[in-house]
Amino acid sequence: MQPEQPSYRSTHITLRSLGETHTYSAQEIIHYSRCEDPLIAHLTEIGLIGLQDQASQEHLYNEHDLRLLRRAYRIQRDLDINQEAVEVIVRLLTQIEHLQQALFQTSPDQSPEHP
């Protein structure tokens, strides 16, 4: 009789702080996202990422922007596509995320089928 082999399971935990936000400068976002400046400039120009600081006129980026840029970097690298195609994919993924959030925030009591 052979001893039982232990089974292994991995668990991934993502920690997000509530209320704390970190902002990144243009140079920091380039470094941390690994995206090239033209892609970041394009996504900033069309309004998908970044906010312009009124005092300094600099663009500032947040954690959400960083996650989006990392995703854009992987898409562009893995699929070998241009920045316009990356923009389309990122827009679609963002819309899907918003729809999922809206779906999960709607409880059965609030749905139109259950007045």
CATH code assigned at 41? 1.10.1660.10
Rounded to whole angstroms, how far apart are CA atoms 95 and 60?
22
Asked if residue 20 has pLDDT above 70, the reply is no
Q: What angle do CA 100, 44, 64 make, to 5 degrees?
A: 40
Q: How many domains does the chain have?
A: 1
pLDDT for 69 equals: 96
Q: Looking at per-residue confidence, does 1 or 25 come out higher?
A: 25
In a domain, 81, yes or no: yes
In a domain, 34, yes or no: yes
In a domain, 95, yes or no: yes
In a domain, 110, yes or no: no
3-state secondary structure of 32: helix
29 closest CA partner among 20, 41, 17: 41
In a domain, 6, yes or no: no
In a domain, 50, yes or no: yes
**Cβ burial, residue 113 (10 Å; 0-12/13-18/19+):** exposed
Rounded (10°) CA dihedral 22, 23, 26, 27: -40
* 8 Å CB contact between 34 and 70: yes
- 50-89 confidence digits (pLDDT tens): 998 888 888 999 999 999 999 999 999 999 999 999 999 9
State the residue range of the domain holding 73: 26-104
